[in-house]
A and B are shown apart, each in its own frame.
Chain A
Amino acid sequence: MSAVIMIQGTSAAAGKTIFAAALCRLLAEAGWRAAPFCAQTIGADAVNLPQGSLSRSQYLQAEAAGVTPVVEMNPLHLQPLTENSFRLTERGVDKGEISRQDYLAAADTAFDLVLESLQTLLSRYELVVIEGAAAPVELHRPELALPNMRLAQAIKAPVLLISDIDRGGMFAYVAGTLALLPEAQRRLIQAVVVNRFRGFREKLQPGLELLEESINKPVIGVIPYLNLQPLQAADPAQREKREQVYRLLAETVRQNVDLAFIQRLLRQAGDSQDTPKEGDGKSWS
């Protein structure tokens, strides 16, 4: 199996999508053929591809990675219809309305589709950057298990946990997420990335050290607040604008996140054959 890395968030909109997009671009710049993946999106915008619809996030990430977007990058999409039902899209094809109960009951079948899609990507690409959905610890939303920890456990993915500090409470979101995960899942989380920071880094530092001590995981980056406008994925006229954003994201992540740490994770995640090797000219730093 090729190497994977997974990004999960402590809340919705923590910055998973843009962080994954930045990693896609950085990997592409380093010469890797990398693909984005999200097992199951919920309520996301979609872009129409020849094979069907694809979530906007994975479309943008594929563009950032310089690869052709395909429906396998987001095998499942749930569009909430009522409090207890969704419209289900499988690999870009509309499957109609499904109740939450029915969806959960058929989760094993859905999960097979996810693994199959991921396998397709892994056979075509060297690396896959996997984005989770919302947050892994949503005790009242069992449908979030599949795209987060169920997948991570099944493929033993190294997970980076990203948290939005701009709204406050970041330390608690991180510590609480880890506290509520069962040990087998907690072990998969390799490090924390702080997103949307504005303020004085030196004032934050003591807090980060206390957090690392408390959770026994490293904080490998603090990404500054970027005031980004939403990107129009399908609009070819905005291609250049998006390109600027990918470059900005990649550069920002390069400067503020410990990429060597992530590279080590990728190396460990892959098997000997496909593993990125040191000295193979595809280094990040």
Chain B
Amino acid sequence: MLKKEKKARTIMVQGTASHVGKSAIAAALCRIFARDGYRVAPFKSWNMALNSYVTKDGGEIGRGQGEQAEAAGIEATVDMNPILIKPAAPGQVQVIVRGQVYGTLGRTHGTEQEYRRFCLQVIAESLNKLRQEYDIIVLEGAGSPAEINLRAQDVANMEAAALAEAPVLLVSDVNRGGAWAAAVGTVLLLPEADRQRVAGFIMNKFRGDDSLLAAAAAAVEKQTGLPVFGVVPFLEEARLPEEDGVALDNLPRSRTAGDGCLQICVLRLPHIANFTDFDALQAEEDAAISFTTEAEELAGADAVIIPGTKNSLLDLEFLRRLELDKVIMQRARQGLPVVGIGGGYQMLGEKLCAAEGSQVEPGLALLPVTTTFSAQQTAGRASAEVLLPFAQGLRVEGYVIQQGETKGQGHCQAALRLDDGSEDGAVSASGQVWGTSLHGIFDLPGLRRAWLNTLRERRGWQPLGARAVEDRAQRFDALADAVEKAIDLPALYRLLGLTKEREEHQP
């Protein structure tokens, strides 16, 4: 057994840019090491993410670490992403420390240096705690370590690697193009001490003819003196939940409306949050999801969803500015199904009252509810019984992150009955408009299918049966299999000072 005074071995995944697939590679490594018998935990010191994961004890961390913990077969804790940064309004960024709201960036500490010192201390504490409890920690960086104008502020990449004494695998995105250059350039621009930490490269998202890869890898090795540990193909399994809005802006449209597809528009709000809510819908064969603010597209949609937002009031103002509020209200009166989740649910209500009491904003008035904001943020997991007419009686699990409270006025049909006996959400008299505070509600296959079938019915299409439930364990295994096949795993174990076969005296 692992002796308590020993520290977990560490390995870190950094990228040459955002969206190179760090999270998926880290998740795959978590899974691979866990399958080999090690106790593995993920760690991302600092994360800027719009999509959150709520831990069992109600802490908010980046979605990626929640997924990676699941891949590692453990319960996620707030130490796995001790600092989470969330843009809340222009020039206003929320700092979440170990799962709880800590304050607004720029106001938590006197100077930038003090803030950085504080971050590094929190990071070191959480990291050390995990290193006591696990055999291997798989760290993930943020963005690129070679942002040479920001090195002095770094707490997410090479500073974290140094704290963890971790060798660094540099992931580069072949699909985007320029990957070999990015790998070489990153190493080239790092200061000597940081460069020493880079152990080698993983070329990711490769598709095409692989006959020339060896020569390319040799050229990079020659230039940098560092090995290419593997070329990972473009994997559908690697489509882990995205963390930020750049992903939305670069979203390929997998399906287009028509051709038997329902067109579902999710409003691309400036402060959109927790848009992983729609990943499962996107995977449905008969749903074409677009994130949009085009009035024409909304008017022609089969359904409109107003997603979660970090700032319901500002995003409501945004809708008014584009006059999308009118489009939605008018089309909803004509029977267009409209759904609101989280902040989007708040916007569907009659009134939104600011915390200070003075400001009262009218909502879209499609649901008879009122939201009163407070400074306090509540986060937690919840399970409930579905009261929505099309999926009555189903059981659903999800999570809630909200500022303020949304309450029904007078008689109002709720959407869910939570297990603590309280009710959540609302349904319009017609049943076409509904909203809930619960994120993750579309992850429930039965509910998702039942809702899509109501849209199909409006078109006069036959309903479809629910797809087989996605087996998340299988998906992580497929991802791990593909990555294990593509990379030089023994070399990674050598970096860790371990072997594939876990021995009793290890680490």
Contact = CB atoms under 8 A, between A and B. Distances in A.
Interface of A: 9-14, 83-84, 100, 134-135, 137-142, 166-169, 171-177, 179-180, 203-208, 210-211, 214, 227
Contact of A179 (B148, B188, B210): B188
A203 B149 contact: yes
Contact of B177 (A138, A174, A175): A138
A131 B16 CA distance: 25
B181 A169 contact: no
Contact of B17 (A83, A168, A205): A168
B208 A141 contact: yes
Contacts of A211: 148
A169 B207 contact: no
Contact of A83 (B207, B213, B220): B207
Interface stretch (B76-84, B139-147, B304-312): B139-147
Contact of A137 (B178, B189, B210): B178
Contacts of B178: 9-12, 14, 134-135, 137-138, 173, 176-177
Contacts of B147: 168-169, 171, 207
Interface of B: 15-19, 143-144, 146-150, 174, 176-178, 180-186, 188-189, 207-210, 212-213, 215-216, 219-220, 223, 246, 249
B184 A176 contact: yes
Given A11-B178, A207-B149, A172 B213 contact: no
Given A138-B180, A140-B209, A207-B147, 19 more contacts: A10-B182, A13-B177, A83-B209, A100-B209, A134-B177, A139-B215, A140-B180, A141-B212, A142-B212, A167-B246, A172-B186, A172-B189, A175-B189, A177-B185, A179-B184, A179-B188, A204-B149, A205-B149, A227-B249
- 7 closest Cβ pairs, A-B complex: A176-B185, A207-B149, A169-B17, A139-B216, A176-B181, A172-B185, A11-B178
B19 A179 contact: no
A164 to B, nearest CB: 9
A180 B188 CA distance: 11
Contacts of A167: 17-19, 176, 246
Given A12-B176, A83-B209, A140-B208, A171 B146 contact: yes
A163 B220 CA distance: 20
A172 B180 CA distance: 10
A172 B176 contact: no
B189 A168 contact: no
Contacts of A139: 180, 212, 215-216, 219-220
